[in-house]
Amino acid sequence: MHTVHSTPSIGLTSRPSPDVDSDLLVIPVFEDDDLGDLAGLDEASGGDIGRARARGEFRGKAFDVLVTPVRGWKATRVALIGMGPRGEFALDQLRRAAIAGGLAARQRRMTRVAIVQRSGTGLPSERAAQAMAEGVVLANFDAAPYKTTEPPVVWLEEVALRVDGESPALARAVDRGRVLGECSNLARELCNEPGNSLTPRVFADRARAMATAAGLKVEVLDETRIAELRMGLLLGVARGSQEPPWLIVLRHEPDRAIDGPVLGLVGKGVTFDTGGISIKPAENMDKMKDDMAGGAAVLGAMAAISRLRAPVRCVAVIPTTENMPGGRAIKPGDILTSAEGKTVEVLNTDAEGRLILGDGVWYARQLGATHLVDVATLTGACVVALGKTTTGLFGRPDSWVEQVRRASDRAGDRSWPMPVFDDYKELLKSEIADFTNTGGRAGGAITGALFIKEFTGDLPWTHMDIAGTAWAEDAKPYQPKGPTGVAVRTLAELALDGDSWGKL
Ligand code: BES
Ligand code: MN
Ligand code: ZN
């Protein structure tokens, strides 16, 4: 197996673009762009750029790419990346341009890239620098580590970001972007691992190593301890597997923490979901190796939170288990008792994520969380509702959900709010226990969220359903097929912004 990601060195420069040295100089270009701030570019390309634009070969439509050699400039070639209309430009476009440029360089076996921030976009240089740094690191990910017959993977090694000005704030922004990109890649790496290599035991070991390296406090509770805590939901799901469950607990306790708030992050860590006795069809079951993407996102986010010294205290809880149909597995109709004491009639053993999260969320409250966010590949229904590019947000109060939504905006993780009206609760009514674990097809993503809500006490809580967004099925110029690392940057941005919501 070869390595899956690599973090390049990233430097800043304010030199004129012709003086920026690289194999590939990446230039975002708008539709109807006069390239006024890049005097001499067309001449340097021997008129190639002008001709390509006149012919309509390159019109600046979103993520069009034109690579052409340049003479008299320090760079060997330039890559124009289409950005669409200037009026629709946003920070996320720039991050994606950096990814597309980085991927284009790697495809051409180039290791030194530079990216130009265009003038007149209205973006503060710090935000631009952070997004570009995130982008180039995200471009340095390879999802096929078990291929033994392909030529070795090429990594970006040296990156220069061309922005206006130089300041300590800019350098910090680059550092922030680099760490956020790297921690996203760590989560992607774990998601990409198949179920036979990333078992719950291995996930817990990897979490311990990653957390320690990032300066977090880490504790891994074993099955005995989980039983002492009476986590009947987590134990119930784990019964069908030969592998015992583990409960990963991470803590970020900064020196001068904001007084009061404790962010509680909870991630679903099902390392493989067969559905259990309510077994899934064979087709696409292999996809269920990424059913720990929520747990990996929480782990990656906590590493970033610690490395970037977020001002708010955080606790993270990641219950990890397999969902298997072994001889001792739970059966439809079985009743489980949660650590909180509430009873659940398990109508479908494939609705296992909400079960383990129920105990996980409860435990985050025991550890002192004041604000909760859980992340899970929870429901196929969420994919039906929002598709493959938007994460579903659920929770209460609206103001807390909105904080998470805004953090996801800054992070470039698209998300959108969904309702959790009490009217849906009757769908979880049980004849025999406090509630069931499934509410049927209608509103399936919402009833999944409502189940978790039962365990949140009265804390502010947001649930992120990443079933659609954790894995990219189609390659895009700015997003290769495979694990996306969704929610890592959202959760980190949320914690980094603790100053603003922590005092609410
Ligand atoms: N891990 C799945 C959800 C999922 C489905 C993730 C598709 C990614 C893609 C989850 O454990 C599950 O099986 N959910 C069931 C719930 C149902 C039984 C109420 C589902 O969505 O079908
Ligand atoms: Mn399932
Ligand atoms: Zn699942």
- Give the ligand 1 atom nearest the CA of 291: 1
Name the residue at shortest CA distance from atom 17 of ligand 1: 351
State whether the beta carbon of 332 lies less than 6 angstroms from ligand 1: no
Q: From the CA of 270, how far away is ligand 3's center (Å)? A: 6
C-alpha 318/C-alpha 383 separation (Å) is 23
Residues, Cβ < 5 Å to ion ligand 2: 273, 350, 352
CA angle 443, 445, 447 (to 5 degrees): 70
R_g (Cα) of the chain, nearest Å: 24
Diameter of the chain measured on Cα atoms: 79
| Helical residues (DSSP H) of 108-220, grouped into ranges | 125-139, 168-192, 200-213
- Give the ligand 1 atom nearest the CA of 471: 8
Q: Identify the pLDDT of residue 166.
A: 86
User: Scanning the structure block, which residue is given the tokens 């030194």?
Assistant: 112
State whether the beta carbon of 324 lies less than 6 angstroms from ligand 1: no
C-alpha 206/C-alpha 212 separation (Å) is 10
Q: What does the domain layout of the chain look like in residue ranges?
A: 9-167, 198-501
**Ligand closest in space to the Cα of 445:** 1
Please name the fold of domain 198-501: Aminopeptidase (3.40.630)
407: Cα separation from own chain's centroid: 12
State whether the beta carbon of 381 lies less than 6 angstroms from ligand 1: yes
CATH number of the 9-167 domain: 3.40.220.10
From first to last of its 504 residues, the chain has per-residue pLDDT tens of 889 999 999 999 999 999 999 999 999 999 999 999 999 999 999 999 999 999 999 999 999 999 999 999 999 999 999 999 999 999 999 999 999 999 999 999 999 999 999 988 889 999 999 999 999 999 999 999 999 988 889 999 999 999 988 899 999 999 999 999 999 999 999 999 999 999 999 999 999 999 999 999 999 999 999 999 999 999 999 999 999 999 999 999 999 899 999 999 999 999 999 999 999 999 999 999 999 999 999 999 999 999 999 999 999 999 999 999 999 999 999 999 999 999 999 999 999 999 999 999 999 999 999 999 999 999 999 999 999 999 999 999 999 999 999 999 999 999 999 999 999 999 999 999 999 999 999 999 999 999 999 999 999 999 999 999 999 999 999 999 999 999 999 999 999 999 999 875
Instruction: Give the burial class of 258: count Cβ atoms within 10 A of its Cβ; 0-12 exposed, 13-18 middle, 19 or more buried.
Output: middle
Q: Identify the pLDDT of residue 504.
A: 59
C-alpha 212/C-alpha 248 separation (Å) is 13
Q: From the CA of 275, how far away is ligand 1's center (Å)? A: 8
pTM of the predicted model over 0.85: yes
Active site residue 280: yes
Q: 430: closest CA among 307, 353, 333?
A: 333
Backbone angles phi, psi at 490, to 5 degrees: -60, -50
State whether the beta carbon of 273 lies less than 6 angstroms from ligand 1: yes
Active site residue 354: yes
C-alpha 302/C-alpha 383 separation (Å) is 26
